[in-house]
Chain A
């Protein structure tokens, strides 16, 4: 067994452990941190697959951005644990159904004759950069889905603003343009007046 395989099993075990902790730990902040940990371990597995661009983007986008949002939310919301647990039994059947459906799909996709049934593809030569390969295809052959991604992101921006933006009334804003445009004569008036006489 080579060192690569050992590292793979370590990362795989860590990601399974992390995922289990996400759903069993009680404190929501800790659950979010375990999810971060799981993403890290999966990034390690992806690197072993020589998908370096995807692995690092996984860390950049999910760990560096999405999970920061999750943490903000769980920290801000003051989640009441007792209330959450009360609904557990009620939602259990739905949850089980979704889980079973997922498992069936996974097995149909990768299961059966796929397990150990084929040789791994030969490792690509060192000078091939998979970021470069991705770039060559994404913006030429797959340009149409790429532009659709932009539209989806646009929808996300609009939706996020529409859902969360609340205007508070009576708030005073600064307008830096006006502040800079202010001249001395707008604010100061020089008055010539005789001094008062001392009594």
Chain B
């Protein structure tokens, strides 16, 4: 099994290296003549008057939490999906119950308006 993961390790390193090398190439070949106007952040012609890192709507945070929960749910579904034929109706009902409980949460979320985006 491990010998199959060696190409993957190398591929990940190559993938990162390709990106790194291309940027390096850009630095080597391209001119570098900075001035204060060029380096100022883009702001539709205005002077940037404050730090751009501002506070954000808490809604983004909620989306991220709900995403974690559903992602976990998917992680639970993966092993179930490939052995479904072996575990048969018992496994199917076990998963229906699991999904059923989570659908309650999903309905709550929906009714509370957590999915509305204004």
Chain A residues engaging chain B, CB cutoff 8 angstroms: 4, 7, 44, 47-48, 50, 52-53, 57, 60-61, 64-66, 68-69, 72-73, 75-78, 123-124, 126, 129, 131-132, 134-136, 138-140, 143, 146-147, 149-151, 153-154, 156-158, 160-161, 164-168, 171-173
Closest to B3 in A: A126
Most chain A Cβ neighbours within 10 Å, of B90, B101, B106: B101
A/B pair count, beta carbons within 8 Å: 144
From B5, B54, B67, B108, give the contact of A161 (CB < 8 A). B108
Q: A72-B61, A151-B101 are in contact. Are A140 and B90 (CB under 8 A)?
A: yes
From B68, B86, B91, B106, give the contact of A66 (CB < 8 A). B68
Chain B residues engaging chain A, CB cutoff 8 angstroms: 1-2, 5, 9, 53-56, 58, 60-62, 64-69, 71-73, 75-76, 78-80, 82-83, 86-87, 90-91, 94-95, 97-98, 101-102, 104-106, 108-109, 112-114, 116, 118
Closest to B4 in A: A126
- Provide the main secondary structure of the chain B interface: helix
Q: A61-B75, A69-B61, A171-B118 are in contact. Are A136 and B109 (CB under 8 A)?
A: no
The interface residues of chain B lying within 8 Å CB-to-CB of A166 are 58
B6 to chain A, nearest CB (A): 8
- 7 additional A-B pairs beyond A147-B94, A158-B105, beta carbons within 8 Å, are A50-B2, A75-B53, A76-B60, A131-B82, A138-B79, A160-B65, A161-B112
